[in-house]
Amino acid sequence: MNKYFGNKTFNFMVLSVAIPIMLQNLVTTSVSLVDSLMVGQLGDAAIGGVAAVNRFFMIMNFGTFGVVNAAGIFIAQYFGAKNEERMKESFRFSIWGAYVIILPFFLIALFFPREILHFFTQDEILIETGALYLRYACYTFLPLGCSIAVSCAMRCIGEAKIPLFISVISVLTNTFFNYCLIFGHFGFPCLGVVGAALATLIARLLELLLLLTALKIGDFPFKSKITQLHHIPFSLIKQITYKAAPLCLNEILWSAGNAMILKLYGTRGSHVLSGYAITTTTTDIFFTLFSGMAVATTVMVSQPLGANQLEKAKENGYHMIGFSISVAVMFAVLMFGMSFIVPYLYSSASSDVLLVAQKMIHVQALCFILYTINTQNYFIVRAGGDTKSTLIMDSCFMWVCNIPLLAIIAYFTQIDIFLMYLIGQSCELFKMILSTSLLRKEKWVVNLTS
């Protein structure tokens, strides 16, 4: 067991990288909670409609992160190898790759918003509300791609403070304009869910502007001139694409799987969609742990691999598991406590919606340590570029195990939503066995720069 727990120096290094990322995502998710509370004042239909749209957003976001994170593995390893030219080329790839994913989603959302909502629900009120929101919110995709690429590259070389600072400004901007445009304060028009979409667009544009300004001013070894964005050797494109394809496919399948699971839960009534939305908004505060661990793992594992310090990288990887479990215990207790507070802040939500949210949060709190082990195993394997194993342990497991099981329960039984949700989440135990076995094969202990 000693190999799973690092010393004080190691823990301090992890915290120095992880805490700024966790704070950034904590700010983002906390403001998302406030935004959700604002939208929640518009009623159950607004909560459910926006939640369904966010499932579609998630597919695009995770697909984009798949490409960008694959390039980020190379940026981190080339940073460890002190190869600046390859870092620049990897960064250029991440920008192009982000928009290869984003543009199809943008066009689908722009021209087929109602069809997207029909996938999740047959409730016409939810469809109309969600489609109205999506018609405007889809424009936020366009600045997002470049922002994700720049932020990821900064984090991969250990610079987390600048994305944190800019993210704080962005989310505060989003909150302010949500307050103004949803409810019509300070002389702004009262636009409801359309106001929420426009507020997000304003915040995304500001975020991109600030990131590009910081990139231009700062001394970042990966930054590139616009005129050189197309300068990427075919050999590197091939190499990153080989790693990116399974990772991107995994992220898209995983987020699409979550959308399918939401549809299956929705068979138990439209109130479940709204309750699920409150659940995810609340528990996302605690899942900020994973964002911090993701970047810390990239720094603590990918950089030593790039410097050809394979034993150190392997040791750091196992230490990351013990560290994340220690923090997860505290987060699980706090999450359980929040279940008695946050759902009831949605004063306009029905009692059925609030009960669904509370019970789902209870289940997530009980399973949080399992989530943490599985996610940390995933980050370690990904840091070494073993993207085939990430595909197997993550989305393949979801589509082979979780979804068929829930589909049988949804369409062939009368099991209520609470037991159905518990059964679905308990699959994480079997996933832990699979992910741990793939981790211990140590195919991820590879220097990609050699």
For 161-175, the pLDDT digits (tens) are 888 889 889 888 988
Domain count, the chain: 1
Q: Residue 446: inside a domain, yes or no?
A: no
pTM, whole model, 2 decimals? 0.70
**Band (1; pLDDT cuts 50, 70, 90):** very low
Within a 10 A sphere around the Cβ of 187, how many other Cβ atoms? 6
List of residues 6+ apart from 291 with CB closer than 8 A = 21, 22, 24, 25
Residue with tokens 């009534």: 269
**Band (37; pLDDT cuts 50, 70, 90):** low
The predicted model gives 133-148 an average pLDDT of 90
- What is the distance between the alpha carbons of residues 30 and 222, in angstroms, rounded to a whole number? 31
What's phi and psi for 80, nearest 5 deg? -65, -35
**Band (123; pLDDT cuts 50, 70, 90):** confident
- What is the distance between the alpha carbons of residues 59 and 262, in angstroms, rounded to a whole number? 13
pLDDT the model gives residue 213: 94
Percent of the chain scoring above 90 in pLDDT? 28
Mean pLDDT of the residues in the chain: 85
Taken in order 305, 17, 64, 215, the sign of the CA dihedral is negative
The predicted model gives 82-94 an average pLDDT of 90
Q: Residue 445: inside a domain, yes or no?
A: no
Q: Residue 348: inside a domain, yes or no?
A: yes
Residue with tokens 């220097």: 447
User: Burial level of 373, CB count in 10 A (0-12/13-18/19+)?
Assistant: buried
Q: Residue 450: inside a domain, yes or no?
A: no
pLDDT tens-digit map of 397-417: 999 999 999 999 999 999 999
Residues 133, 49 contacting (CB under 8 angstroms): yes
Q: Residue 448: inside a domain, yes or no?
A: no
Which domain does 374 fall in, by range?
A: 2-440
The amino acid that residue 127 corresponds to is: I
User: Using DSSP, how many helices (H) and how many strands (E) does the chain show?
Assistant: 19, 0
Q: Residue 449: inside a domain, yes or no?
A: no
More confident residue, 160 or 335: 335
The predicted model gives 362-368 an average pLDDT of 93
